[in-house]
């Protein structure tokens, strides 16, 4: 009987060290988490409007993969596989410029929402409080016409009394939007 020990191929590789000794190899759980994050990022890209998608810095291959995903039925398995492929492409790239562009879009969207709510608040204030609210608005935005705001206030009150369609309220909103956003 020979005293020969059987070595598996795995044993022979165990003597090699990673090139980057400081970094520990990622666990399967961590790899799956990262993979899911890249797929989620890919899905965000797929769901963007064409105009917003144009603002995202992508190479040709990634852009093509995103466009294919946009054309695939989201309920089919092909969509899931395409998102996995996009995730794989993203893992091979520096995603910092992409995430930065997405953050800017999100910030822009939030700023637009905030501005919209401010306009709604100003409109409702004019409708409810009349001259008092008009005075505050004109002080903050001197380019607004006091007479026009008073006219809108009177029209809104008449429409409310008659339970009519709030046409003047919509017109006031558009007027405020036009004048204030041109600032």
pLDDT digits over 66-93, tens only?
999 999 998 889 999 999 999 999 999 9
**Domains of the chain, CATH where assigned:** 26-93 (no CATH), 100-181 (1.10.60.30)
What is the residue-averaged pLDDT of the chain?
A: 85
> Any alpha helices (H) in the chain, and if so which ranges?
9-13, 28-47, 50-53, 60-71, 77-91, 96-129, 131-140, 146-161, 167-181
pLDDT, mean of residues 118-131: 94
pLDDT digits over 24-59, tens only?
677 888 888 888 899 899 999 999 988 899 999 999
pLDDT digits over 148-163, tens only?
999 999 999 999 999 9
Q: What is the pLDDT of residue 41?
A: 92
Q: Is 83 exposed, middle or buried (0-12, 13-18, 19+ CB in 10 A)?
A: buried
User: Does residue 12 have a pLDDT over 60?
Assistant: no
């Amino acid at each position: 009987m020979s005293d020969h020990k059987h070595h598996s191929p795995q044993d022979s590789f165990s003597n090699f060290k990673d090139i980057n000794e400081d970094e520990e190899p990622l666990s399967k759980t961590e790899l799956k988490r990262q993979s899911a994050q890249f797929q989620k990022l890919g899905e965000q890209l797929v769901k963007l409007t064409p105009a917003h998608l144009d603002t995202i810095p992508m190479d040709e291959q990634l852009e093509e993969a995103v466009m294919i995903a946009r054309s695939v039925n989201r309920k089919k398995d092909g969509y899931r596989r395409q998102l996995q492929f996009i995730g794989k492409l993203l893992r091979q790239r520096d995603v910092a410029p992409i995430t930065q562009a997405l953050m800017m879009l999100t910030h822009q969207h939030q700023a637009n929402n905030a501005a919209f709510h401010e306009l709604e608040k100003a409109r409702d204030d004019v409708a409810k409080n009349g001259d008092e609210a008009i005075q505050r608005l004109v002080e903050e935005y001197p380019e607004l016409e006091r007479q026009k705001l008073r006219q809108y206030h009177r029209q809104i009150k008449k429409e409310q009394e008659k339970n009519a369609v709030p046409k003047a309220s919509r017109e006031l909103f558009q007027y405020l939007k036009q004048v204030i956003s041109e600032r």
